[in-house]
Amino acid sequence: MTRPEHDVTDTREPVSALRTGTGRPGATHPPGFPIGRRVPVTLLPPGLLRTAARPLPPQPRSRRAILAAAIAAAVLLAGAGLLVRAATAAPSPRDVVQEFFAALAAHDGSLTAGSACNRNPLCTAGALDSGYEPPRNVTIAAETGSREERQVQVAYTLGGHRYTSTVTVTALHSTSVFHGTSWWIRTPPGTQLTGPPATPVPIAVAAARLPTQPADAHDAAPAEIWAPPGRYTITRPETPILETATLTLDVTDNPTTSITLPSTIKPAAITTAQQLIHQRLDDCAAQQTFIPSIGRWGGCPMSYLDKHFVTDAPTWTIQDYPQLDLQPASDGSISVITTAPGRAMIHYRWTNEFIEPRQWHDVTDTREIKVTGNVAADNGVLQWYPR
């Protein structure tokens, strides 16, 4: 039973007792203890006390918001995966080899990159535009090897024949997650072309120039150039002495191939060379001396030794010109050698008397004529250079 509020009384000590320190026996209070007004205290019955309400649990997110967040996360993950996959999707060894032959099919040697193209005129733009036929019907026959190196066998048709070459492709690994393994051709198919060490005019391989030395170069090394597979037209332009030379060469996968161009002397150059030699002999015969000599090249191919004290001026007559063999030389000149000697007749008089009238004695004799040397072009004009 609950008692009414006015029936509850306060039984604590009066405020005066707290202030004066008196009260119940033994009770003590520290001096200066704050004393407020006396306030009646009302005790509430237990039924009137209330318990504090519990906080409500947080409301969960709506299903629509959760679903949207999940979709966004999935899209981000998928995009990142596609980015990594695209960055790491480098061309395979087969792709690299196919790209190599595709560049040849496009007559673009500048795309055949690699160490073989270092300072190589065939690897420049336009070098394969003319005088070149690329391989046809290119197919990948097989691929073997390891993770670091692959051997790709490629078959192609060239000049009506089927050939197979092995291309070594080497891996280049990257530590970046955005760069996978790339491949490069270590051993490109083709041939090392070797040309003559010197040439009178530049030799063209397709539309490129073979890096040969001038004809008068000393100790020139053979010219070398790497050429990818294909059919090449190799040309040496005409000179005042030589005809134009043309060679068709199929390059497959041989280690080295020598360039040997035919050298054909122009008929007009042969006629001019013979005329120059005959004229030289005639000029020598016109010298009224026992040892004829002309110009900077000095000696003539005939001479005579006389031991008498007094002689008159001798005369020479060419009876037969020598038979000559004219061959093209490596420097583009005409090499001249004698196959059958000619003959020159000398006539003079001698005497051992010093007082007139003197008695003269006639002498007629012959000497063989042999010539060697070269006929070369000097600023486009043929000249005879005897040795």
Task: Write out pLDDT tens, residues 29-57.
Answer: 444 445 445 555 555 555 544 555 555 55
d(C-alpha 328, C-alpha 223), whole Å: 20
Radius of gyration in angstroms for the set of CA atoms belonging to the chain, rounded to a whole number: 56
pTM beyond 0.85, yes or no: no
> Taking CA 165 as the corner, what is the angle to CA 163 and CA 166, rounded to the nearest 5 degrees?
160
First and final CA of the chain: distance in angstroms? 156
- Domain extents in the chain: 93-190, 192-258, 267-386
Q: Which long-range contacts (CB under 8 A, 24 or more apart) does 270-278 make?
A: 270/326, 270/334, 272/375, 272/382, 273/326, 273/334, 273/336, 273/375, 273/382, 273/384, 274/324, 274/326, 276/375, 276/382, 276/383, 276/384, 277/321, 277/324, 277/336, 277/371, 277/375, 277/384, 278/321
Residue of 251, 88, 105, 67 lying closest to 180 (CA atoms): 88
Residues 178-192, mean pLDDT to the nearest whole number:
82
DSSP character at residue 282: H
Residue of 203, 184, 287, 280 lying closest to 247 (CA atoms): 203
* Tens digit of each residue's pLDDT (9 = 90 or more) over 84-127: 443 445 789 999 999 999 999 999 988 766 667 878 899 988 99
Task: Tell me what percent of the residues of the chain surpass a pLDDT of 90.
Answer: 55
Among the CATH numbers 3.40.50.300, 3.20.20.70, 3.30.450.20, 3.10.450.50, which is that of 93-190? 3.10.450.50
d(C-alpha 93, C-alpha 182), whole Å: 9
Q: Is residue 19 very low, low, confident or very high in pLDDT (cuts 50, 70, 90)?
A: very low
